[in-house]
Structure formats: C-alpha cells, structure tokens
Amino acid sequence: MRIKFWGVRGSVPSPLVSEDVQYKIKKILTRAIQKNVDSLEKIDGFLDSLSDFSYGTVGGNTSCIEVDADDKIFIFDMGSGLRNLGQHLQDTNNFKNQTFYIFLTHTHWDHISGFPFFYPAFFPQNKLILHSTIPDFKERLEIQQDSKFFPVSMDSMHSEKEFVKLEYSSSIKYNDAEVSNLRLHHPGGSFAYRLICKDKTFVYATDSEFRNLSDTFILNFSNFCHQADALVIDAQYTFEEAAQKEDWGHSSALAGINIAADAGVKRIFLFHHDPNRNDEDLNAVYKKAVNYHRMNYPQSDLEINLAREGMEIEI
Ligand SMILES: [Zn+2]
Ligand SMILES: [Zn+2]
C-alpha cells in the first residue's frame, strides 16, 4: 500500500511567502559561515547535511491523501492538494481511463475546495466514485460550483460520477480493499476512515477533538485504530491551545500519541496543520511530540512523523 500526502494543512491554504523564503536563506547562509563552507566543492556536502526543514516546507495545501491499494486509487478528502494530484496524473499521462475511489470526511471548505480543479474529473473516460456519510453531499458539492461561487458547474465536469451514501460505522468493499468509517467529534460532524487491504491498515482521522469524550467513544476509536500500520490524525493545535479551544473541533499531537500508543499503531502522521504555523513552528510541534512520546511511553515503538506535502510512504 502506497500513501502520498498531497495536502496536509487545515482550514485554509497557506503557501510560503517571500519573508519565509528569505528567513530560510538567512539561516542557511549563517550556518554555512559557521561550517566554513568557503568553496563550491563544499556546497553539495553542506546541503546534504541540512535537515529538510531548513530548505523544504511542510506545504500549504489543504487535506488530500492518495492511497494506492489493490491496484486502485483511493483519495481521502478533496482539499486544495487534490489539484496537484490531478496535475501529477496529467504530467505522467495517467489521467484517463481511471477509476477514483474518493472518501470525504466532511464538507468543510478545506476538504472539498480542490474538487473543481481536479483535472481528471473533466474527462468522460474516467469514473469517480464519491463516498460520504452525509446524505446530501452531492448537493453540497454542486452548491460549491454554483455560478455564484465558481464559473464551472459540476455537470460540466464530464467524468462519470457515482455518489455512494455510506451508513454510519459501515464498511464497503472493493475486491481486496475494505473501507470502514467512524464518526468523530467535530462541529457539523466528521468521519474517520480505515482502509484495510492485504494485511495492511491505513487510518485517516482528521478534524476531531479527542478531549472530554466518553469512554465508549475512546474505546471505539482505539479499536478502529488497533495496530494500524499508519494513522493520520488531526494535530492542528499545540497542547496549550487544545486546552483553551474546547469544542473548536481539533486536537493536539499529544492526544493522538496517547491514542496511537495505546492502540499499538506503528506509525503516526501529525496532520491538518494550523495555517498560522510556519515550518519552524511545526518542527517545534514535532519535536515536542517526540519528547512527549519518549517520556510517557518508553516501551512504545510508535514512529512519529509530521505529515508533509509530497511525502510518500509504503506500508
Ligand atoms: Zn479541516
Ligand atoms: Zn472541519
């Protein structure tokens, strides 16, 4: 099973701005002086020694994850990152004669705004099977492309589209791939998905609070994540913010780590990053999460990752 992150931000796209780039360059140059990089020959070695955070970025696009399993393309959420997935399929000439299995957690903007820009959706040779627990999700997507808000209607996207309404806590099977859902705690509702295929388990659980919830909810969620190979989880807030922003519908990395460590998850990916945090802030969130895990779960093998746009993993 291959997982690729096309959008990892929450709430609203938040691209790098010139000041961010300038700041990165200044830090790198300062480091180069400290490391006596005084010839062209030393540059490559110096660049290789830098952490990804020094020159790269976590990315500014909102929620969209591609999972390739059972020779199928699954897509979880259609945030602005979906546009880049479509662009990639176009660039690699894979944008026709495809079926896309799309699952929506909910219909907040940051999870659907990429749909009108998904290039493959415009070709009649493609089929999109869209899934949601929300009864009127087709109508909601149509409204997003009402002429008052967007110049191209959903009807003008000529791919074949099938809308599958999922029952709460149900599963749907496509050959060897099975996708289950679980309701999360989020304003307006959000749903986690678990994809199991050939002994590999991927769980996508974003836009959820994990504080002050019933024991039943925590137990159900823990069972849902049990021994998952990869868990993508809402980590929009710092621990301090999570304490202040009760009922805002998001979580801190630390809540996710508690659940993941108890559920025997193998790899956790902190996701749905706050648009106000820059790469350095997010690196600090990541380091704090790693320390918290080391201090509180010394026996746990959980691998902690910060989800980044363009990141690709195999489980
Ligand atoms: Zn969101
Ligand atoms: Zn939301």
CA geometry: angle 55, 61, 63, nearest 5 deg = 125
Confirm whether 213 is domain-assigned.
Answer: yes
Question: Could you tell me if 129 and 236 lie in one domain?
Answer: yes
pLDDT value at position 246? 62
Question: How far does residue 119's CA lie from ligand 1's centre (Å)?
Answer: 22
Residue among 203, 195, 200 at smallest CA distance from 179: 195
The parent domain of residue 79 ranges over 2-15+57-309
Question: How far does residue 122's CA lie from ligand 2's centre (Å)?
Answer: 27
Residue 74 clears pLDDT 80, i.e. is over it: yes
Phi, psi (5° rounding) for residue 172?
-135, 140
Confirm whether 248 is domain-assigned.
Answer: yes
Residue 120 clears pLDDT 70, i.e. is over it: yes
Residues in the 5 Å CB sphere of ion ligand 2: 108, 207
Question: How far does residue 175's CA lie from ligand 1's centre (Å)?
Answer: 30
Residue 243 clears pLDDT 70, i.e. is over it: no
Question: How far does residue 272's CA lie from ligand 1's centre (Å)?
Answer: 7
pLDDT value at position 252? 81
Which whole number is the average pLDDT over 246-257?
78
Question: How far does residue 190's CA lie from ligand 2's centre (Å)?
Answer: 7
Question: Could you tell me if 175 and 38 lie in one domain?
Answer: no
Question: Could you tell me if 46 and 98 lie in one domain?
Answer: no
- The amino acid sitting at 122 is F
Contacts of 224 (CB under 8 A, 6+ apart): 180, 182, 192, 194, 203, 205
Residue 262 clears pLDDT 90, i.e. is over it: yes
Number of domains in the chain: 2
Could you say which ligand is closest to the alpha carbon of residue 106? 2
pLDDT digits over 147-206, tens only?
A: 999 999 999 999 999 999 999 999 999 999 999 999 999 999 999 999 999 999 999 999
Q: How confident is the model at residue 239 (pLDDT cuts 50, 70, 90)?
A: low
Question: Could you tell me if 138 and 43 lie in one domain?
Answer: no
Confirm whether 314 is domain-assigned.
Answer: no
pLDDT value at position 242? 65
Question: How far does residue 38's CA lie from ligand 2's centre (Å)?
Answer: 49
Model confidence, pTM: 0.95
Confirm whether 190 is domain-assigned.
Answer: yes
Confirm whether 250 is domain-assigned.
Answer: yes
pLDDT digits over 84-104, tens only?
A: 999 999 999 998 999 999 999
Question: Could you tell me if 35 and 61 lie in one domain?
Answer: no
Residue among 247, 182, 188 at smallest CA distance from 220: 182
Question: How far does residue 53's CA lie from ligand 2's centre (Å)?
Answer: 27
Question: Could you tell me if 30 and 153 lie in one domain?
Answer: no
Question: How far does residue 2's CA lie from ligand 1's centre (Å)?
Answer: 23
As a whole-number percent, the residues of the chain with pLDDT over 70 amount to 96
Question: Could you tell me if 272 and 176 lie in one domain?
Answer: yes
Q: For residue 76, give the CATH number of its domain.
A: 3.60.15.10
Question: How far does residue 31's CA lie from ligand 1's centre (Å)?
Answer: 36
Strand order across the beta sheet in which 171-174 lies: 171-174, 177-184, 190-197, 200-205, 230-234, 267-271, 303-306
Which whole number is the average pLDDT over 132-146?
98
Q: How far apart are CA 244 and CA 38, in angstroms?
A: 49
* Percentages of the chain per state (helix, strand, coil), in multiples of 5: 35, 25, 40
Confirm whether 120 is domain-assigned.
Answer: yes
Could you say which ligand is closest to the alpha carbon of residue 12? 1
Q: How confident is the model at residue 245 (pLDDT cuts 50, 70, 90)?
A: low
Q: How far apart are CA 251 and CA 230, in angstroms?
A: 18
Q: How confident is the model at residue 51 (pLDDT cuts 50, 70, 90)?
A: confident
Q: How confident is the model at residue 209 (pLDDT cuts 50, 70, 90)?
A: confident
Question: Could you tell me if 25 and 146 lie in one domain?
Answer: no
Question: How far does residue 73's CA lie from ligand 2's centre (Å)?
Answer: 24
Question: Could you tell me if 180 and 293 lie in one domain?
Answer: yes
Question: Could you tell me if 9 and 49 lie in one domain?
Answer: no
DSSP state of 97: S
Residue 129 clears pLDDT 80, i.e. is over it: yes
Question: Could you tell me if 98 and 173 lie in one domain?
Answer: yes
Question: Could you tell me if 38 and 163 lie in one domain?
Answer: no
pLDDT value at position 247? 60
Confirm whether 260 is domain-assigned.
Answer: yes
- The overall average pLDDT reported for the chain is 94
